[in-house]
Amino acid sequence: MPLFFYEGVDRVGKKVQGDIEAASVQEATNKVRKLGFFPTSVKDKASAPSQQSAATAAPGKKKPRWSLGGVSQKQLTQFTVQLHTLQDAGLPILRSLKILANQMKPSQMKDIVENVTEDVESGSTLSDAISRHPKVFDRLYVNMVKAGEAGGVLDTVLSRLAVFMEKAQRLKQKVIGALTYPAVVITVAILIVAVIMIKVVPQFKAIFQQTSGKGLPYITQLLMDISSTIAAVWFLIPVVPIGLYLIYLGVNQTPKGRLFLDRIKLRLPLVGIIIRKSSIARFTRTLGTLLSSGVAILDALVIVRNAIGNEEIALAVQNVHDSIREGESIVGPLSQSSVFDQMVINMIEVGEESGELDKMLMKIADNYESEVDSLVGALTSILEPAIIVFLAVVVGFIVIALFYPLVDLMKDLGAG
């Protein structure tokens, strides 16, 4: 039976290490947990030389063709599901890759799969082969596949990866969809109002100057002043949002700038709550998926930190990583962060004490994804009437301001 070397901490935070016999990394991890320890690293003592030699295998010969947008998340998810199906059916990994490469239409993904197939055929492991394409297979994907290979449960890991990617994509689409609709409606409304102010209102102004012998009502004069201002600076209408976007990109290029912007996002009304809860769901599901696949917790935290997409939460994850490396628990750094709810901290603490942290993290992810669904629905239900009311107020203001002098004019004509 293979021999594994483990490192970890005990109940009081003292570092422990030793050797343990097990059939796989996952079994070794479970045995360490049953000893009352919290494993931070579990490695097969006999696998290091073979992995090193596999890493030096010849790279793929074909350069992947360029395509607009590269490889989509949908393509990668489909590849993962199909590869899992073939592996679950008992086919060798090389045969599975050849089948998938042959059935794909000409694309960048097909070229990459063919390169991966060549590397595997040359003696590389699947994890080493896909690691040569970091723009398609990120560190999370590579490390999970590597853990599946080490534990002999590649089909199970691929299944978890497919489920993880599908849920992550679905959550992202819901959040983007909820924010896209109001953004498009407001943009169109602003353009229509701008056209009215620049083209229509000045014609009424000329009519009023010719026919009205007295001053315009205050509301009408206000509309005319707004119209004159917009007509004078109309070129700024596209320049301002483009300029703000360029400033946003510039600030987002620096670590401090990203942290500043991400903190603002998390504190926006309602939208900030959605971003925070979706980020926590991504953090817990990613970490839970990695741990359940046999990835060591310190390696998993590094991967999660780089994949979380929010600098404030990434900072909290980094603090957790440093805490565990020093022999402490996860809960301490999380409780010091203002991002995580007390419920999340309590559930993680229970999972840590019971030795089932991965399962508890997945439960937290399920709960938070459900909350995000509800919040997205609430945001949509709030924004739709809010936009309607806003447009009604703007249109009502323009109509009243334009027709008020006409009513006075008709009264004067009737009196005359």
pLDDT number for residue 63: 60
**3-class SS of residue 19:** strand
Second CATH level (architecture) for the domain 156-416: Up-down Bundle (1.20)
Q: For residue 182, give Cα distances in angstroms to 92, 238, 379, 384.
A: 49, 18, 10, 7
The class of domain 73-155 in CATH terms is mainly alpha
| Same fold? 73-155, 156-416 | yes
More confident residue, 70 or 251: 251
Q: How far apart are CA 9 and CA 326, in angstroms?
A: 9
Q: How far apart are CA 5 and CA 385, in angstroms?
A: 61
Query: pLDDT tens digits, residue range 171-206?
Result: 777 777 777 877 888 888 888 888 888 888 888 877
Q: How far apart are CA 12 and CA 10, in angstroms?
A: 6
Q: Which residue has the tokens 């909350």?
A: 371
pTM for the model: 0.63
Q: Answer whether 28's CB lies under 8 Å from 42's CB.
A: yes
Q: What is the DSSP string of 379-391?
A: HHHHHHHHHHHHH
233 pLDDT above the threshold of 60: yes
Q: What are the domain boundaries of the chain?
A: 3-46, 73-155, 156-416
Query: pLDDT tens digits, residue range 128-165?
Result: 889 888 888 887 788 778 877 776 778 888 888 888 88
Q: How far apart are CA 189 and CA 383, in angstroms?
A: 14
Second CATH level (architecture) for the domain 3-46: Roll (3.10)
More confident residue, 244 or 295: 244
